[in-house]
Amino acid sequence: MNHVSAVLYVLTLALYAAAAAAYFGFLYFRHWERGARWLGRAALIAHTLTLGFRVVESGRPPFVYLFEATLFFTWLLMVNFTLLESLIGLKVAGVFVTPITFVILFSAAAMPREASVIDPTLAGSWVAVHLSLSILGYAAFTMAFILSVMYLLQEQQLRAKAFSVLFRRLPALDVLDTWSHRLVAIGFALLTLGIISGSIWAGYAWGSHWSWDPKETWSVITWAVYGTYLLLRARFGWHGRKAAYLAMVGYVAVLVNFFVVNLFLNSLHRRL
């Protein structure tokens, strides 16, 4: 990472920290909303520039190695949040999204930035399609997870009739439930296409379309959990609290697949 990229990375972290603080302030002071929104936009612009410089530096798409994949993943998460904030006025989600983005990006500083040798199996259009679809799906699942947490918090306060400052800013339960479902459906479609394209790539790169290594195994587990979520909603009418809990279980599988497998498990897909 050169000097310009390093400065942009630190600036991005600082802006996300400021945006997170402003969104928390928005819980208590409505007039903080505009400042929080613009700090979030500024952080996203700096994030975009950081990602762009990473592409220029490496000469490859920003998702081959874990550090740059984390930059891309958190960037997509913020893009999703910005779109939802504009579409349905989901301002309060910034209380969750900006701190999560900051923590993940801050943790990424400890990840190796470069590979001594570029693995030739990571070149080609199929791997680019596979990785981009998978990370897009993970970003959608992350937003669905955040909405599920918001749903459970609001429902718990309604049942207990004990209302915090957060309650005044939360959208209606049906809005949270509907958009969480939509995001899971989008993420599931993207992950399905990511698994298919990954299988095609593996056939070219390793001579076998499937080997059941940890990454492939956890991809199938993640796919199965979210597939079950969609089936239960469509066939048995699951919604609300039960659906929110299942979306959160699915997100545990996402975290294991994206971080634990890549950092700690011996996998053909482990490229740091």
Question: What are the phi and psi torsion angles at 161 (to 5°)?
Answer: 55, 40
Same domain, 110 and 184: no
pTM: 0.85
Same domain, 28 and 79: yes
Same domain, 102 and 176: no
pLDDT (tens digit per residue) in 169-228:
888 899 999 999 999 999 999 999 999 988 887 777 666 666 777 888 889 999 999 999
Domain boundary among 76, 91, 117: 117
Same domain, 124 and 209: yes
pLDDT (tens digit per residue) in 219-270:
999 999 999 999 999 998 888 899 999 999 999 999 898 888 777 655 555 5
Same domain, 155 and 227: yes
Q: Measured between alpha carbons, how far is 81 from 269 in angstroms, rounded to an integer?
A: 29
Range of the domain at 11: 1-117
Mean pLDDT of the chain: 84
Q: How many other CB atoms are there within 10 angstroms of residue 151's CB atom?
A: 26
Beta-carbon contacts of residue 121 (< 8 Å; ≥ 6 apart): 127, 205, 206
Cα angle: 35, vertex 40, 41; to 5 degrees: 100
Cα angle: 251, vertex 74, 141; to 5 degrees: 25
Same domain, 183 and 214: yes
Same domain, 152 and 77: no
Same domain, 130 and 107: no
Would you say how long the chain is, in residues?
A: 272
Q: Measured between alpha carbons, how far is 151 from 148 in angstroms, rounded to an integer?
A: 5
Same domain, 149 and 259: yes
CB 230, CB 184: distance < 8 Å: yes
- Indicate the SS3 state at residue 110: coil
List C-alpha distances in Å: 103 to 6, 42, 77, 128: 17, 17, 13, 26
Same domain, 17 and 132: no
Task: Return the DSSP state at 207.
Answer: S
Q: What mean pLDDT do residues 137-158 have?
A: 92
Residue of 182, 261, 181 lying closest to 219 (CA atoms): 261
Total domains present in the chain: 2
CA gyration radius, the chain: 19
pLDDT of residue 208: 67
Residue of 148, 159, 141, 166 lying closest to 245 (CA atoms): 148
pLDDT of residue 66: 77
Same domain, 70 and 185: no
List C-alpha distances in Å: 150 to 74, 208, 255: 19, 42, 19
Question: What are the phi and psi torsion angles at 64 (to 5°)?
Answer: -80, -45
Residue 116 has pLDDT above 50, yes or no: no
Same domain, 234 and 259: yes
Residue of 167, 270, 180 lying closest to 230 (CA atoms): 180
Q: Measured between alpha carbons, how far is 100 from 135 in angstroms, rounded to an integer?
A: 16
Beta-carbon contacts of residue 46 (< 8 Å; ≥ 6 apart): 8, 11, 12, 15
